[in-house]
Structure 1
Amino acid sequence: MQLMTLLDPVALAIVGGGTVLVTILRTPFRDLVGGVGALRILWRTPFDAERLLRQVAALTRISRRHGVFQLDRAVIADGDVAAAVAMIVDGAEPDEVEALVRHRRRARIDRHVAAAELWAAAAETAPAMGMVGTLIGLARMFADMEDTSKIGAGMAVALMATLYGALLANLVFAPIAARLRAAGRIEASERAQLDAPLVALAALQAPRQPSLQSAA
């Protein structure tokens, strides 16, 4: 019953609704969708490139034994590695493969940053919306000074709005932003380990190209 005294629907609507509205207005739609979708990362284990490194090593062995074109049959779940292997099968140069892998990793980092910035912006907005709710509550309280039975409702909105803003910012939005940043750093570091093996795999095809051209 005591917890129910901390529930004020009006204050919650002002702070929660205002924070959502401001966040929507200041965020591009693509980043907004990505930021909400990134919440699924919070329930996943940190990204580990070990499985992909083993797969690239296996692809390298296949390429050495049977030729790089056999890699076209490989089933690769990871989009970045699949795109790199597709370029290798098509005869791309090692530096082209390296540029692709780095570009895709940079794009992933940018998406992680955009998602974290969305929730960091919400953490900054919530206290401001709490202050707005406080001002609305005080205005309501002063407007009802003649009726003492209504003063408590205005005071409750004023106090609860400040509380909700602080709680949402520090217990919800800021922790989400921090965890998304951490997940992004871990994934970027892990994926950087894939550069050298993929470039080395692409280099296996490079010596064959001059002979193919001369034969043509």
Structure 2
Amino acid sequence: MLMFGGITLSFIFIVLAMILGGGVGAFIDPQSFLIVIGGTIGATIAKFPPKDLIKGFKTAMLASKGRKDETNLSQLVDTTEELLKKTRREGLISIEGQTTGNDFFDKGLAFMLAAPDARSVERYLSDEIQNLINQAQRGKSVMDALADAAPAFGMIGTVIGLILMMGSLDDPEMIGPALAIALLTTLYGAILANAAFIPMAEKIAAWQSVTVHEQELIALCLLAIKNSQSPMIMRETVKPYLTHDFYKLPEVAE
């Protein structure tokens, strides 16, 4: 839940700055809120069905939570080696009912035991990985659309406020509210885009990369079991997935 923690922290610091600047009341304007929020949601719904908007937020929540079954990749390879040795001695039927604690691995293992050949297993695993990619990309597209729309409607609100202000130059009491619309809509749009929607989109992209990386390794492990590969060949096959680290910074040559 670090993503939502970070978003909350951003809003807390923004509100604190407002309080220190004289109070939150000066930064609240219903008209500006309606322009930015209503316009952003409406424009996004025009691009995507409402159900996709809901799924986009659900995907962001899923990405933020991570997976309860997230497993060390080396541990998955060790488990695969144990299963391989057992099946090479006693046959595939000997690992029926085995579980690893990883949902994707366990689902694939159950399908592999029932599948007639390795090609069927490969097709099934490929479809499952592609489904996850499609879900993540659709969710990111929704967040990207929201991130684009919020500042745009902030600028639209600014133009509206300036027009109202220019039309009220002979009435000093109307200049202040019009100027508030002009400035606050830009503020609302920038906050929503940079403190919420852009982080959500990037979190989904990062979650997709890490999850697909793990699932591709698991697919190779399951195919190795189905094809009764030797443990040594299996380890050589998955080695690129173990040496690549998403979070390791490249070394800079001196």
Q: Aligned ranges for residues 1-216 of structure 1 at < 5 Å? A: 1=19, 2-4=22-24, 5-40=26-61, 41-44=63-66, 48=71, 50=73, 52-75=76-99, 78-204=102-228
Q: Letter of the aligned partner of 1:180 in structure 2?
A: I
Letter in 2 for 1:12: F
Structure 1 residue 67 displacement after superposition: 3.5
Higher relative contact order (CA 8 A, sep 6+): 1
Cα deviation, residue 30, structure 1: 4.7
Structure 1, unaligned stretches of length 5 or more?
206-216
Change (3 A) 1:193 1:49: farther
Task: Look up the SS of the partner of 1:92 in the other structure.
Answer: coil
CA RMSD of aligned residues (A): 2.7
Tell me the distance in 1 between the aligned counterparts of 2:60 and 2:159: 32
Give, in whole Å, the separation in 1 of the partners of 2:34 and 2:76. 46
Code of the aligned partner of 1:7: I
- 1:213 is matched with none
List alignment gaps of at least 5 residues for structure 2.
1-18, 230-254
**1:61–1:10 Cα change, 3 Å:** farther
8 A contact 1:48–1:187 mirrored in 2:
no
Range with greater deviation from structure 2 (133-142 or 170-179): 133-142
TM-score of the two chains, using structure 2 as the length reference: 0.69
Q: Tell me, what secondary structure is at the counterpart of 1:35?
A: helix
TM-superposed deviation, 1:175: 1.9
- Contact 1:16 1:126 (8 Å CA) reproduced: yes
Secondary structure in 2 matching 1:74: coil
Distance of 1:127 and 1:82 partners within structure 2:
44
